[in-house]
Amino acid sequence: MGLITELFNSPSAFILIVSGLIVSITIHEFAHALVAFKLGDPTPKLQGRVTLNPLAHLDPLGSLLMILFGFGWGKPVEYDIYNLNHPKRDTGLISIAGPLSNILLGVVLIILSRVFNIQELMLVAYINFFLAFFNLIPIYPLDGFNVVLSLLPYDLAERWRETEKYSLIFILVLVFTNIPSIIVTPISSLLMVTIDTFIKNLL
């Protein structure tokens, strides 16, 4: 079941995948915290979230689901919209920062994999792409929800916000169905192949 099977089939692969997920989630949440802090809200800094220490960012339930099902989440970064100069816009920037950081990290890992011929890094790169696009699914509390919210006119944004009440149902559907793989896997694979081909041609 999930990554647990990898523990018995290939302990080294299990360690690599879990380590990759921990690094990916840490970078993801750190990016949220850093952007919120840079946009004027001291809350993440005061809560010790502007750090690359994984212990500050891992969520117990999200970590458990990560091991059982192969995906999870970190501890949400808290921020006060009243400390932001442009709350609606800045909320979108804070939300998109996490997925963008994972895409950037994925690109760096592909480059390192090609330069130093460490193929295992390709798997960690894919984990980052998957995490990025999974979080861009527009369902609360995933990042995509607030990204969409920041782009909508105020009247539509209020209607969109009302869908928060159904978030538990949506998350359960994601957890117990193959929807994440159907939606996210092809996009992540396409991006990875495209970037890898481009970097390989450059080298």
Q: Is the pLDDT of residue 1 over 50?
A: no
Bridge partners (DSSP) listed for residue 58? 74
| Closest by Cα among 80, 74, 66 to 180 | 66
* Average pLDDT score, the chain: 88
User: What is the spatial distance between Cα 43 and Cα 49, in angstroms, rounded to a whole number?
Assistant: 9
Supply the range of the domain harboring residue 68.
Answer: 4-202
pLDDT of res. 167: 86
Tell me, letter by letter, the H, E, C secondary structure of 87-156.
HHHHHHHHHHHHHHHHHHHHHHHHHHHHHHCCCHHHHHHHHHHHHHHHHCCCCCCCHHHHHHHHHCCHHH
Q: Is the pLDDT of residue 101 over 60?
A: yes
Catalytic status, residue 29: yes
Model confidence pLDDT, tens digit, residues 181-191: 788 999 999 99
Give the SS3 label for residue 20: helix
Model confidence pLDDT, tens digit, residues 144-159: 999 999 999 988 998 9
pLDDT of res. 129: 95
Instruction: Express as a percent the part of the chain with pLDDT over 70.
Output: 92
Number of domains in the chain: 1
User: What is the spatial distance between Cα 9 and Cα 38, in angstroms, rounded to a whole number?
Assistant: 44
pLDDT of res. 70: 60
Bridge partners (DSSP) listed for residue 74? 58
Going by the DSSP 8-state scheme, the letter that residue 78 receives in this structure is P
Q: What is the pTM of this model?
A: 0.88
Q: Is the pLDDT of residue 8 over 90?
A: no
Instruction: Report the pLDDT averaged over residues 82-111.
Output: 96
Q: Which residues are within 8 A (CB) of 184 and not within 5 positions of it... i.e. 6 or more apart?
A: 130, 133, 134, 137
Structure tokens at 39: 């946009």
Model confidence pLDDT, tens digit, residues 37-95: 999 999 999 999 999 999 999 988 877 777 676 666 789 999 999 999 999 999 999 99
CA end-to-end span of the chain, whole Å? 39
Catalytic member of 29, 78, 120, 158: 29
| Closest by Cα among 138, 143, 148 to 170 | 138
